Amino acid sequence: MKRICVFCGSSPGLRPEYAAAAQALGRVMAGRGIGLVYGGGHVGLMGVVADAIMAHGGEAIGVIPEALLRREVGHHGLTELHVVRSMHERKQLMADLSDGFIAMPGGYGTFEEFCEVITWSQLGIHPKPCALLNVLGYYDALLAMFDHGVNEGFIRPHHRAMVLEDTDPATLVERMHAFVPPDAEKWIEPAER
């Protein structure tokens, strides 16, 4: 993997462990020569992970819509900052630039971004690993919801297995490297997205 897209909050959250995990993830990625693709903000966990990877000599590429450039205080110390017109363009470019996806703690936007890329994986649009960095059990309830979806017949077990999860950034990145996508039926061609 050359680059991992990290979805995370534009807020730091209430616990210092969230920022510590973002710093650790940045160190791990930089140490393994993996670049960061993210939402381009300088605030919250977004800024922490970008600053950490840059401080350790890594590459950080931000993608931010014009409308959010001021609101999320666009990070101007990055390797590259792409300013796009819409959220749809933002998500597409982030996906195109990335070889895998990690969601750290965050809010609605983080949940939506992660669920979209795991859906794209389920549909056969991409074979990239999708992972949750489950800091302090932040994603326990979401993982339980995914399991409930399997138990109720809405999510196939091999699709549930596509969601990687760990509490340790280094272990999670290793699991992403080892990921082999299931031989799933391809429902949509990439050009049809």
Rg (CA), the chain: 16
Model pLDDT, residue 71: 73
In whole angstroms, give the CA distance from residue 94 to residue 63.
7
Task: Dump pLDDT digits (tens) for 33-49.
Answer: 999 999 999 999 999 99
Would you say residue 190 lies in a domain? no
Give me the number of domains the chain comprises. Answer: 1
Residue 187 in this model has a pLDDT that exceeds 60: no
DSSP of 21-62: HHHHHHHHHHHTTPEEEE--BSSHHHHHHHHHHHHTT--EEE
Reported as a pLDDT band with limits 50, 70 and 90, residue 86 is: very high
Would you say residue 162 lies in a domain? yes
- What is the domain-level CATH number for residue 42? 3.40.50.450
Would you say residue 66 lies in a domain? yes
In whole angstroms, give the CA distance from residue 60 to residue 160.
30
Mean pLDDT score of the chain? 93
Question: Is the pLDDT higher at 192 or at 11?
Answer: 11
Task: Dump pLDDT digits (tens) for 48-79.
Answer: 999 999 999 999 999 999 988 877 678 889 99
Would you say residue 124 lies in a domain? yes
Residue 189 in this model has a pLDDT that exceeds 60: no
- Cβ neighbours for 68, distance < 8 A, ≥ 6 positions apart: 41, 74
Model pLDDT, residue 114: 98
Model pLDDT, residue 136: 98
Task: Dump pLDDT digits (tens) for 114-147.
Answer: 999 999 999 999 999 999 999 999 999 999 999 9
The residue segments making up the domain with residue 11 are 3-177
